[in-house]
Structure 1
Amino acid sequence: MQSSFYGAKVFANILLAATVVATLFLTLQFRGKLLTSENEGPAGYSANSTYGHELISSENSYECINPYSQPGFIWMETRNTTDNTTWVPFYSGLLDEQFSQIWDTKGEPVDKIVDDTRYFPNKFPPNDLLKNAPTQWFQLLRQYKKMRDAVSTEKSTGRKTGYTKIIRELEKQLYWLQNRSLLVVGDSADGTLISHLCNSLAADLDYEPTNGLDETSIGTCNIREWNLTITHWQLGCVGYNCSSSAVETPESIDQKWDRYFIPTSDSVVGQNGASPDLVIFQSGLWSEQFFVNRYREYVNRKIIDYSRTLNFNELVLYTRLLRRTISKLRDLYGYQVPILYRTVTLKNTVHQDIAALNLDSAARYACRELDIEIIDFGWLVRGYYSFYSDDVNIDEGPLSALWANMVFWYLFRSQGGVEVRGDLVRMPDMDMTNVGAWDMCHDTFMKDLKIRS
């Protein structure tokens, strides 16, 4: 009996090792290139890592390209795994691949393949396409966590994992996350995505309602291995309390700000020692609730109508409230802190999204006028309704992994990191604050935003 138990444990360890090695092999395939420069990183940094894109030595010459604003598609190996999930941008010329690189044509003419009704298998897209995908920071963090946990059991089990060298290489690529701080100001949709990220990394996660309701709360996630902190201020709507009968005295944005968030603002400090390294802000679901509830009361209806188009005055009020909230963020932390606006949170039923889309258009206008860049996650995942866990929240899986990778891409950039077409042109400097780092490509990205809005 004891022998069988021991054999099962040995088999489990072999299976774990095989799984990790296979995943790393796929990661290497996905990255497509090796790091080739030893001019960046902390003391002892070696660029011989096999887990990232190519690090190109560059003075000040590089393109400002945001992969998440390019046309593309969400690549996922299966819908039940986060491994290798990424946004694959369609850069110029990358779709002109021969069919033989994707399918075995067996000598048949290309036009016959196109006209055929056969099922096209979900194989890896061509390497020329995948190597241009942005770095999968979230998957790298997960691999690091799994290997660290496995190594920590070596003393008790007496068996070597062989992961020590790989862990050191991962640390050389992920070092820039040390002591970073991200502030997310939004609603429960943001909180759910943060929870998925932190649960996947076994991080410390804590949420506390501030007014007895979920509408306003403060959450903190700390990824211990890097002292990376994600703070969530669940603001609710940017007007008064969005649920008219939820509390006896509705609170305005000013009251919420002064009562709940200002007292905790000093704890949201990143590498620069004075402020978060990046702020992501949005107000969609609760603000939508604010307007539909007011209309329901005005027409004396019992049923909330999400299919009504918001009127001009409602959109004007919304943009003014957005301005006020963004001004509060800038007054609190200064103009040098990068702020992103996350776009629309769509429900899992299309016919109820009219008001949300109205607010999204108004928010894009406000961001254009206020010089605020946009993280377009909500727009990239539109239509993926079967990946929701309820009416508004995305389930843990490929889409939550995509959100995490997007957030880390912007955080990487805010600290001076530059990634162009999948190549890591420059790594962040640990002594560098975010002053000026964001501005390197800001004007270019804002110009693109004005064209697309």
Structure 2
Amino acid sequence: MKWTIHARRSVAVVGLIGIASFASLLLNFLFYTHRYPQTAAILPASNRSDEAICHEESATKKPIKSTKLAICENPYLQPGFVWYNDTKEETQTTWVPFYPNLLDQSYSLTTLRSTREPVDPYTSDGDPYFPTEAPPQELLDIAPHQWMQDIVRHYELHKASVASETGQSSRSRQVLELEELENRLVWLRNRRILIVSDSVDRYQSEYICNRIGNGLTHSKQGRQTAAWCHIPAWNFTLMNWHIASVSPTRPSWWWVKEMAIVNVEERWTEYYLPTLKDTIGMNGKSPDLILFHTGLWDHTYFIRGPEALGQNATWSRSLNWRELRFYMQRMRMVVSMLRAQFGDDVPIMCRSVTLKRSLPSNVSILNLDRAARFVCNELDIEIMEFGEIIRGYFDFYKDTVHIDRGPLSVLWANMILWSLFRTQGGVEVRGELVKMPTNSTEVVNVAEGWNRCHNDFMNAKRY
């Protein structure tokens, strides 16, 4: 009897241990699958639904180990660096983002040779030597797509008389390349971008058109009113509405004598609305994308005002609360005018401010940039981080304010085209075009394409 009781107790204990072990295994399994979910593969250039491609890992490249990829990942919000090669064509310029877990990759590790031997044939003291070289191809593969490079190459191939200047095999290769570019860029056809900004962005628009044989057309009312860059081959237009600060009046001390109208409300009626027909996209009510910025004119406005009253014009001073509050209120007013004109669902981006080559004056410009970021966040508007990315690249300026044609203008083009691609329903994941817009002749709901990742980008980590 005692033996039977002990046996039953032993069986019960073993059973409890077994149940506990199974429960532990089950909990571990659930924890593992929750933390490291298995995902399906992304197929390049696929056109599947958002549900099918959301939070999927690239099975072909796996650029970053053990990283869950999502369709809502903006490469221009990641830390990174601008890569350009002085010996190559400027369209080779690209933004190289640093994604999470990048340092786990073998190509990111630097192995230094022993300092007991010369590091380089021309180095005798054994100090570390870092020769100039392009980033590893694995990094370039996950960089954002270079749309400007595609556009320029398409133009060059289309312009060239390949039939008379090359052999049959070379001509066939170029024809195939041209067709490939045509298919990849077809979404660009019939699109409209409105840029409400200053001459910094106007110059960038002009550089895009100059590279493909077109110029910038200015309104008969002057350069600082309205201008547009139209690409007939794609029926693609960049419309520029020049904004000369957020001042509600034209002060008597205004420093540009030939500028008859300063305030936005009057400029809207006199300069902007006459170009409206060339600004409206295929939906009949709005452009496909709006890029908005105001800052450099406002900076001069705040410094020159006290100077006109007999005070010292201290360019390096910090702006005060009254100035910043005024700037933010008027900035909100301009955005409200844009939304009233084109609808609340029109995609709008605010460009971060570019600094001046004159370093002392940048203190108050940075004040404006931070105030603008606050307003954009309150108005649920994303930031185009062009100004932040190029901060300090003064050698690429053409004067104290404007950025010259070159690597930075290519970067600007790639950034704005990346956002336009998104409004058309396109999805890019770490260099792969995983979802292409369907048809360039259809009316596209740009708000739908924009809103797919809008909340993610608004809440993205800022480094």
In the alignment, is residue 308 of structure 1 matched against residue 320 of structure 2? no
Cα 1:138/1:355, change in 2 over 3 Å: same
**Which secondary structure state, in structure 2, belongs to the residue aligned with residue 74 of structure 1?**
strand
Shift of 1:199: 0.7
**Which secondary structure state, in structure 1, belongs to the residue aligned with residue 194 of structure 2?**
strand
Partner of 1:278: 289
Count of residue pairs brought into register by the alignment: 390
In the alignment, is residue 269 of structure 1 matched against residue 280 of structure 2? yes
Partner of 2:193: 182
In the alignment, is residue 70 of structure 1 matched against residue 82 of structure 2? no
Confirm or deny: 8 A CA contact 1:204 1:224 kept in the other structure. no
- 2 CA distance for matches of 1:101 and 1:276? 45
- 2 CA distance for matches of 1:444 and 1:80? 36
Partner of 1:367: 376
**Which secondary structure state, in structure 2, belongs to the residue aligned with residue 335 of structure 1?**
coil
In the alignment, is residue 391 of structure 1 matched against residue 403 of structure 2? no
**Which secondary structure state, in structure 1, belongs to the residue aligned with residue 103 of structure 2?**
coil
What one-letter code is carried by the residue in structure 2 that aligns with 1:294? G
Partner of 2:101: 93
- 1 CA distance for matches of 2:451 and 2:333? 23
Partner of 2:212: 201
Partner of 2:361: 352
Cα 1:355/1:101, change in 2 over 3 Å: closer
- 2 CA distance for matches of 1:64 and 1:241? 43
In the alignment, is residue 446 of structure 1 matched against residue 458 of structure 2? yes
**Which secondary structure state, in structure 2, belongs to the residue aligned with residue 327 of structure 1?**
helix
Confirm or deny: 8 A CA contact 1:71 1:90 kept in the other structure. yes
- 2 CA distance for matches of 1:116 and 1:127? 29
Partner of 1:129: 139
**Which secondary structure state, in structure 2, belongs to the residue aligned with residue 197 of structure 1?**
helix
What one-letter code is carried by the residue in structure 1 that aligns with 2:97? P
Confirm or deny: 8 A CA contact 1:102 1:125 kept in the other structure. no
Confirm or deny: 8 A CA contact 2:198 2:242 kept in the other structure. yes
Match of 1:257 among 246, 251, 268: 268
- 2 CA distance for matches of 1:100 and 1:337? 41
Confirm or deny: 8 A CA contact 2:292 2:350 kept in the other structure. yes
- 1 CA distance for matches of 2:454 and 2:336? 19
Q: Percent identity?
A: 39
- 2 CA distance for matches of 1:37 and 1:259? 45
- 1 CA distance for matches of 2:268 and 2:76? 31
Match of 2:236 among 228, 236, 241: 228
Deviations 1:330-364, CA, capped at 9 Å, x for gaps: 01111121000001120113222011101001000
Shift of 1:154: 3.8
Bigger mean CA deviation after superposition, 115-124 or 403-412: 115-124
Deviations 1:304-342, CA, capped at 9 Å, x for gaps: 432111100000000011001001110111112100000
Shift of 1:116: 6.4
**Which secondary structure state, in structure 2, belongs to the residue aligned with residue 352 of structure 1?**
helix
Cα 1:237/1:37, change in 2 over 3 Å: closer
TM-score by length of 1: 0.79
Partner of 1:237: 245
**Which secondary structure state, in structure 2, belongs to the residue aligned with residue 124 of structure 1?**
coil
What one-letter code is carried by the residue in structure 1 that aligns with 2:314? D
What one-letter code is carried by the residue in structure 2 that aligns with 1:229? T
What one-letter code is carried by the residue in structure 1 that aligns with 2:448? G
Confirm or deny: 8 A CA contact 1:180 1:229 kept in the other structure. yes
User: What is the CA RMSD across the aligned residues, in angstroms?
Assistant: 3.0
Partner of 2:449: 437
Deviations 1:3-59, CA, capped at 9 Å, x for gaps: xxxxxxxxxxxxxxxxxxxxxxxxxxxxxxx9845658xxxxxxxxxxxx99xxxxx
Deviations 1:85-120, CA, capped at 9 Å, x for gaps: 1110000122344469877x67x59xx98x963331
Partner of 1:428: 437
Confirm or deny: 8 A CA contact 1:62 1:425 kept in the other structure. no
What one-letter code is carried by the residue in structure 2 that aligns with 1:394? I
Quick check: which has more Rg, 1 or 2? 2
What one-letter code is carried by the residue in structure 2 that aligns with 1:438? W
What one-letter code is carried by the residue in structure 1 that aligns with 2:80? G
**Which secondary structure state, in structure 1, belongs to the residue aligned with residue 102 of structure 2?**
coil
- 1 CA distance for matches of 2:303 and 2:100? 43
**Which secondary structure state, in structure 1, belongs to the residue aligned with residue 195 of structure 2?**
strand
Shift of 1:443: 0.8
Confirm or deny: 8 A CA contact 1:72 1:88 kept in the other structure. yes
Partner of 2:182: 171
Shift of 1:274: 2.7
Shift of 1:250: 5.2
Confirm or deny: 8 A CA contact 2:91 2:148 kept in the other structure. no
**Which secondary structure state, in structure 1, belongs to the residue aligned with residue 142 of structure 2?**
coil
- 1 CA distance for matches of 2:355 and 2:361? 9
What one-letter code is carried by the residue in structure 2 that aligns with 1:197? I
Confirm or deny: 8 A CA contact 2:107 2:136 kept in the other structure. no
What one-letter code is carried by the residue in structure 2 that aligns with 1:331? A
**Which secondary structure state, in structure 2, belongs to the residue aligned with residue 219 of structure 1?**
strand
